Structure 1
Amino acid sequence: MTDGNAIDPTVPPSGTGCVECEEAGGWWFHLRRCADCGHIGCCDSSPARHATAHYRATGHPVVRSFEPGEEWFWDYSTDELYASGPELAPPVSRPADQPAPGPAGRVPADWARSLHR
């Protein structure tokens, strides 16, 4: 993984959903958490790909899955997956009762057609 400056384990997540999708009234498939600043963004399969956009805008290269039961990290700067890493400040995932895709009430019936592969 990138040097330790890319991860701040003391910073809590920015919320329970993708920051930009929440602001725009959009939806996401899965969520990613910036390991540096806690920004929650949607994954690259999601229509808007906000986690990658956050990396490009800030240079924060490491994200952790923000899905229940997933502990892996991804380093955008090296395109490497890491099965584990340091413990981050809680909560470590979206609420278990929040659906994926989500959020409830904003996901279109034909959502799978909008996914990036």
Structure 2
Amino acid sequence: MTVDAIDPAAAPSGTGCLECDAAGGWWVHLRRCAACGHVGCCDTSPAQHATAHWRATGHPVVRSFEPGEDWFWDYSTEDYARGPELAPPQSRPDDQPVPGPAGRVPADWRSHIHV
């Protein structure tokens, strides 16, 4: 992991996937870039924006942005990583459903995910 892979002061870009929100899409789980705070959707989600962010920026480390989860993942090593406490908030809002956000998830959402 590179020295600049984590910036503890970088605030999250929002409460949901930045690109899905912009496009009116939806996600299964959320991941937060540990370098810049970009919030993107996980690889199970239809659009896989967190991984796309890593490929576009080279920022290899993400942290789960789910309530009660504090693990880091390093895309460059394909393994869990360690990291410091990041700027708040630590997760999406507790009242945001999974998948989410409310009102944008299709009834047949399971047929759209990557497993």
Where on the TM-score scale, by shorter chain, does this alignment land: which range?
over 0.9
Q: Which amino acid aligns with 1:91?
A: P
Aligned residues, how many?
115
- In structure 1, what is the equivalent of residue 89 of structure 2? 91
- In structure 2, what is the equivalent of residue 20 of structure 1? 19
The within-5 A match list for 1:1-117 is 2-82=1-81, 84-117=82-115
Segments of structure 1 that go 5 or more residues without pairing to the other structure are none
Segments of structure 2 that go 5 or more residues without pairing to the other structure are none
TM (norm. structure 2) is: 0.97
Q: Distance in 2 between matches of 1:4 and 1:110?
A: 42
CA RMSD of aligned residues (A): 0.8
1:31-81, CA deviations, whole angstroms, 9 ceiling, x for partnerless residues?
000000000000000000000000000000000000000000000000011
Q: Distance in 2 between matches of 1:8 and 1:85?
A: 10
Q: Which amino acid aligns with 2:42?
A: C
What is the percent sequence identity of the aligned residues? 74
Q: Secondary structure at the match of 1:12?
A: coil
Deviation at 1:4, TM superposition (A): 2.8
TM (norm. structure 1) is: 0.96
